[in-house]
Amino acid sequence: MIRPQYELLDTGESLHDVHEDMSLSASRFAAFADMTASEIAALMGIVDRPRDYPANATIRNEGDAANQLYFLRAGWVISSIILSDGTRQVLKVHFPGDIMGAPSLPLAASAENLRTVTRATVCIVSKAAISQIFSTMPRLAMLFFLAAQEERLLLMDRLSSIGRQSGLSRLAGFLVHVHDRLRIAGISVDTSFELPLSQELIGDVIGLSTVHTNRVFKELTTRGLIERRGRTISFPDIDAVRKLSGLPERVIDRNAPWLPPPSP
């Protein structure tokens, strides 16, 4: 619970570089529909200059003014809540391309802590910019809406996992989930990936104590379901791990006919 000191570092990169990376975000929306050039351009227009944060830095705390959103360009960031007894629950692990801070959109004070895990690059997105999108690009607004519903699905799945399954299944589900997201983001290509999260943090994600998280890690390893080399996790048989997680698969209905017509 110690909050380290840090300085904001300006990357000195041009907006052009940001825009190149904005395709990351477009690819998240592109999960729902093929994006038009004007929609990609509109997304490019809402981010400001990128800022770098070191590892373990606070971007925004619970209770801080929630007057903006963030676009994560690079690095890993976690969203968490601290309960009144001081325990922490990690709500989401953010990957490059994610928009962060959206749940606090209806609130004046932020509901969540946003904290970097690794070095990270973040752009600010104003609330007014989102409004601008809603006013001018109905289909893109709908894609924002669909992304919010997808986030609900993720929370629903994690709620089911934590509420009704053993620690072993929870960890299995989390590891497979991270792997899948990294593949979608193009960061991982095979059935292995690097996991820069401490076991304490993973415990805060899946609702287990640090010690028990370690025990469950050991159990997964002993059973041959995962292999660990340093912070690299690999799956000898990912389908077995997926099955152990107990979670259903979700298939997105891309380019659904009921979507608003694309902007020119």
Partner DNA sequence: CGTGCACTTGACAGCTGTCAATGCCGGTGG
Partner DNA sequence: CCACCGGCATTGACAGCTGTCAAGTGCACG
Adjacency order of strands within the sheet including 227-229: 192-194, 232-234, 227-229
Of the two residues 9 and 159, which places its CB atom closer to a copy of itself in the complex? 159
Q: How far is the CB of 48 from DNA (least distance, A)?
A: 31
Closer Cβ to DNA, 2 or 251, answer by number: 2
- DSSP codes of every residue in 139-188: HHHHHHHHHHHHHHHHHHHHHHHHHHS-HHHHHHHHHHHHHHHHHHTTS-
* Binding partner selected for residue 88 from DNA, a copy of itself, none, CB under the kind-specific 5 to 8 Å limit: a copy of itself
- By beta-carbon proximity to DNA, the closer residue of 43 and 77 is 77
Task: Kindly tell me which residue out of 228, 243, 250, 254 binds DNA, with binding defined by CB under 7 A.
Answer: 228
CA distance 188 to 190: 6
- What gap in Å lies between CA 129 and CA 69, rounded to an integer? 10
Partner that binds at residue 111, options a copy of itself, DNA, none, CB closer than 5 to 8 Å by kind: a copy of itself
DSSP class of residue 47 equals B
- Minimum distance between the CB of residue 76 and a copy of itself, rounded to whole angstroms? 19
Q: For residues 188-207, which are near DNA according to CB under 7 A?
A: 198-200, 207
**Spatial contact of 117 and 57, defined as CB atoms under 8 Å apart:** no
Minimum separation from the CB atom of position 201 to DNA (A): 8
Rg of the chain, C-alpha, whole Å? 19
Q: What are the beta bridge partners of residue 94?
A: 77
CA angle, 45 as apex, 77 and 37 as ends, to 5°? 105
Asked if 166 interacts with DNA (CB under 7 A), we say yes
Tokens 């922490």, residue located: 88
Which residue, 58 or 188, is less far from a copy of itself as judged by CB?
58
Amino acid at 191: T
Name the site residues for a copy of itself (rule: CB under 8 A).
32, 62, 66, 81, 83-85, 87-89, 91, 102-109, 111-112, 126-128, 130-131, 134-136, 138-139, 141-142, 144-146, 148-153, 155-160, 162-165, 206-207, 243, 246-248, 250-253, 256, 258-261
Instruction: By CB under 7 A, tell whether 183 contacts DNA.
Output: no
State the number of CA atoms in the 13 A half-sphere of 216 facing the CB: 24
223 binds DNA per the rule CB under 7 A = no
Q: Which positions lie near DNA, rule CB under 7 A?
A: 2, 166-168, 198-200, 207-212, 214-218, 228
